[in-house]
Structure 1
Amino acid sequence: MDSLQSLIAAEALQPIDPRVTAFAKTIVAPFGDTARAVIFYGSCLREAQLDGLMLDFYVIVSDYGAAYRAANKAGWMARANALIPPNVFPAAHDNLAAKYAVLSEADLARACSMQAGDVSVWARFAQPVRIVWSADADAEARAIDALCAAPVTLLRHAAPVAGSASADPLHVWRTGFTRTYGAELRAERGDRPDKVVDFAPDHYAAVGEAIAREVPDLAAMPRDEADARWAKLRARGKRLTVARLAKASFTFAGGIDYLAWKINRHAGTQIEIQPWQRKWPLVAALFLVPRLLKSGAVK
């Protein structure tokens, strides 16, 4: 039987489109020796045609201060990254577009664990991802350790609230992803968590079996404690989404256009950004989010 470590490593280290690897190398180059790994994740991982899409990367660094100094970026960005991780930036290479988030190794480990204060990292890294670049074997191993922790964290939260046993062996995974989608401001339609699981059912079944063998107390958390944790994650997640959006208006050129594109793509809306909104993206975002919540475009 495969261990959790071997399953996650085999998935994360699979070959990927060479353009993605080349893109990751250009993104990480400015960070010099502080760069530790690049993780490719998200819906684009499930697409064969990447042109016209927005790729998603996490750049893992050793230290925020040193990383931003190496990249000749403003000092306040390092402080903002540490206060409300991650910072998000746009990038383009070889006719591909991406956004990349910057996270330290320490924050990556924490954000994938039960100590995480929100779901944003472990919910994404509980899914199949790829390590498309690493500085050395130690950096790769640290990234894989975090990627192993993420699905355990998801199932620890999901198992106590999943209800009675279901004929669907992936029921707990579906429950977990449904809860995580509800713990952020997300534009995706309600069937998105099911689609995430249905894309790689064999992966989730194998990882779930490995976790069940290696983590015998997976559902040990009492139901009322789990419900309270989910309520706290949901409340904090909504606030953090707005805070990160506000921060991105300073770090992400064209961020308001990306926000509109993302919502239109996933929610079927027809949002058009006006010139004044591009000039004042923070103000626009603060007006846009309540409107979208009221309409149900994001939840």
Structure 2
Amino acid sequence: MSDLELFIEEELAHPVDFRVAAFAASIAARYGEASRAVLFYGSCLRTTELDGQMLDFYLIVSNYEGAYGKSWLVGANKRLPPNVFPAEHGGLVAKVAVLSEKDFHRLNRSGASAVSVWARFAQPSRLVWQADEAAQAQAVDAIAGAAVTLFDMTFPMMDIDTEYTILDLWKRGFELTYGAELRAERKERSDSVVDSDPERYARFGPAVVGAIAERDRAQGKKLKIIASRDAVEKRWRQLRRNGKVLTLARLAKASATYAGGIDYLAWKINRHAGTNYVIKPWQRKWPILGALVMLPRLIMGGAIK
């Protein structure tokens, strides 16, 4: 096992509030034998604030058929992963994203069509429920690809005539990923992710570089960190286009899977952008149309980018 995988395994095992663990177990129970792992991540993990907040979980399942049976949700999760659902337990609320083990591995790699999964799992997370040791091992292997992808996509975007710290590399990487999605967060949010735990990122950075070197050695290649900047810039332009389109498409899908999804969207935007957007009754009745009306106004107003 590489240093990076060892660090990830150790980090995933850090204890969490007992209410988070109980919440995760309740999520896994709803999907029975299909459940493989539940991961806790995001702002509530960083701040440890739970009450009155929206927690973030990823439920990893063996396959979508096992999770949903013959439901139309199988096709929705395959074509536009992940499916996202609301959840409540013990006075806490959360949104739960569902991915198969296969998709979780794939979407943490550089071939992913959008940054949404690997950008999040290059950050800290906790394995708060697992079916068995094999599920744990697969989660570690999948997550190890996230930071490697971030570094692969960030190295060529750094100016070669400037000296950087390893933290600068992380910050630049998260800045690029935030720009590749429709995000409500303020510009400095990407820096604050790293500044919330600089020791973690300073420790993980050399391990990520080592994993890149080991990958290239295993493939019989020489280490080449600086790839073609033009090629990587082209890839980032594609990711930005994909990310914004996928955000809108997932929002439309969530209107069928996520009760109150448009209210959650407004809450998240108001929280991160300092706005006071109020959802009108007709927008709750027709959430897709309501969101399509809301988003252009918020984009033009600078609330999301």
Structure 1 and Structure 2 fold alike (TM over 0.5)? yes
Alignment partner of 1:170: what SS? helix
Q: Which residue of 2 aligns with 1:175?
A: 172
Alignment partner of 1:60: what SS? strand
Deviations 1:80-116 (A, max 9, x none): 0100000100011111110000000000000001111
| TM superposition shift of 1:49 | 2.6
Does 2:33 correspond to 1:36? Answer: no
| TM superposition shift of 1:213 | 2.4
Among residues 92, 97, 112, which one is paired with 2:93 in the alignment?
97
| TM superposition shift of 1:167 | 4.3
The one-letter amino acid paired with 2:88 is A
Alignment partner of 1:121: what SS? helix
Does 2:190 correspond to 1:193? Answer: yes
Q: Which residue of 1 aligns with 2:205?
A: 208
Structure 2 unaligned runs (5+)? Answer: 214-222
| TM superposition shift of 1:290 | 1.3
The one-letter amino acid paired with 2:91 is N
Q: TM-score, normalised by structure 1?
A: 0.96
Structure 1 unaligned runs (5+)? Answer: none
Given that 2:55 and 2:93 are in contact with CA atoms closer than 8 Å, whether structure 1 keeps it comes out as yes
Given that 1:162 and 1:171 are in contact with CA atoms closer than 8 Å, whether structure 2 keeps it comes out as no
C-alpha distance in 1, partners of 2:49/2:175? 27
C-alpha distance in 2, partners of 1:218/1:212? 11
Q: Which residue of 2 aligns with 1:50?
A: 50
Among residues 207, 230, 235, which one is paired with 1:229 in the alignment?
235
| TM superposition shift of 1:142 | 0.3
The one-letter amino acid paired with 1:195 is S
Identical counterparts, % of pairs: 54
Count the aligned residue pairs: 294
C-alpha distance in 2, partners of 1:284/1:230? 30
Given that 1:155 and 1:218 are in contact with CA atoms closer than 8 Å, whether structure 2 keeps it comes out as no
Given that 2:269 and 2:275 are in contact with CA atoms closer than 8 Å, whether structure 1 keeps it comes out as yes
Does 2:163 correspond to 1:157? Answer: no
Deviations 1:185-226 (A, max 9, x none): 000000000000011111111111112223233624211111
| TM superposition shift of 1:136 | 0.3
Q: TM-score, normalised by structure 2?
A: 0.94
The one-letter amino acid paired with 1:156 is D
The one-letter amino acid paired with 1:113 is R
Q: Which residue of 1 aligns with 2:127?
A: 131
Q: Which residue of 1 aligns with 2:218?
A: none
Given that 2:148 and 2:211 are in contact with CA atoms closer than 8 Å, whether structure 1 keeps it comes out as no
Using a 3 Å threshold, how does the CA distance of structure 1 residues 175 and 218 change in structure 2: closer, same or farther? farther
Using a 3 Å threshold, how does the CA distance of structure 1 residues 267 and 219 change in structure 2: closer, same or farther? same
Alignment partner of 2:16: what SS? coil
C-alpha distance in 2, partners of 1:107/1:196? 25
Alignment partner of 2:31: what SS? helix
